[in-house]
Structure 1
C-alpha cells in the first residue's frame, strides 16, 4: 500500500516485512527526504496521515488489510486509488448503503499525475480494466519473448549477440513509431508477412485466458 500525505510526510509506503522495508529504502534512497517506508503493522498510521491512498497489494490481502481496527473509518472521505486486479470499485465500497460519490475531475487529475510518474496514464472505463491490465502487463513479456527468439536465431546463424540485439532493438523502435502514426498493426503485418494462423492467434489466446483469470479473482 502507498499513501501520499501532506506537509510533514510527502510520501509514505507500507510493505510486508522489515526486509522489504530495507530493500525499498535502499532502492529509493535518492528520495529519502520525501519518502517514509513503514511496515504493514503501521498501515493505519499511514492512512490517517494521508489525503490520497493507493491500494497496490495482492487482491487476496484485501480482507486482512481492511479488517484491521480503525482502517474503514480512516479511509472515509479520502481519495482511494486502486490497482487491485479483478476488484471493482463497487467491491471496494466500505459502506454499501452509502451512495457512490461522483469522481471529480480533480481526482482524476491526481490519479493521472501519480501514474505519470512511472509511465504514461490513459483513461479507460472500469469494465475494460481487467483486459487492459492484462494487455499492459503481458505486452512486455510477449514482446520480449519474441525478441529473445529472434536473437537466438540470429546467434545460431553466426551473428554476435550484441550486434543482433542492437538490430532487433532498432527494428522494434521503428515498429513502435509506425503503429501510433495511424498505421493499423494488421495492415503493417500484412505488408511484410504472409497470411497464416500461428503466433498471432497464440498471443490472442494467451491474453484472453489471462483476462479471464483476472476476472476470476473477484469471484473468489
Structure 2
C-alpha cells in the first residue's frame, strides 16, 4: 500500500515537472545559458516517458467514465422497465375491480406515476376555483390538464364539453388530455373536434400500447398532438396511427 502511494507521489511530481516551462530563475546564476539548456533537455527527456503514461492514464480514465455512464443508463432503463411492469400489473388488477369509484381514483394514481416516470413534472388531482382537475403535466413546454374516466360505456359529449371548458379557462397554450378506458361516443368526438380543438383523446388501447412498450407515452402524446394539429382529428387510437 505504501509503495503504491509513493509511486503515485513520484508520478505526480514527474507530471508537474513536465508542465514546467519557465526557467528565468536560472538566469542570474553562473553559466546560466548552459544550465537553462540542460534543464530544458532534462524536462524534454522526462516527457518522453511521462507523456505516453499520461495518454494511457487519460484513456483509462475516459474508459472508466464511459463505463460509469453506460452503467447509469443501464440502471435507469432497468428502473424504467421495472416501474412500467409494475404499472401494467396494477392496470390488470384494476381491470378486474368491481368498485368503479376506487378504480377511477387508482387509475389517476397510476397515470400520475406514469407522468413521474417520464419526467413530466406532474401535479396530482387538485381543485381550483370550484373545478376538480384529475391531474396536470408538462410536455415540451406545453401544459396539459388531465382527466381520467373508467366507466362501463364510452364517454359522451357532456363529459367532454365540461373538460373542454376547464381547459379553455386556462392560458391559451394549455391543452387537455382526456383518458377514457372504454373510449368515446361518436357524437362526443364529433362535437369536441368541430371547433376549439383544445384537447386530445386517449383510450385503454393507447394505455396498453404504452404499458406493453409498443410506444413510449411521450411519443404517443406527441403523435396524437401532431395528428390533431395537421388533420384536426383529436381521437386517433394507437392502432390507427400507422407508427
Same fold, TM-score > 0.5, yes or no: no
Query: TM-score when scaled to structure 1?
Result: 0.25
Higher RCO (CA 8 Å, separation ≥ 6 residues) = 1
Higher Rg:
2
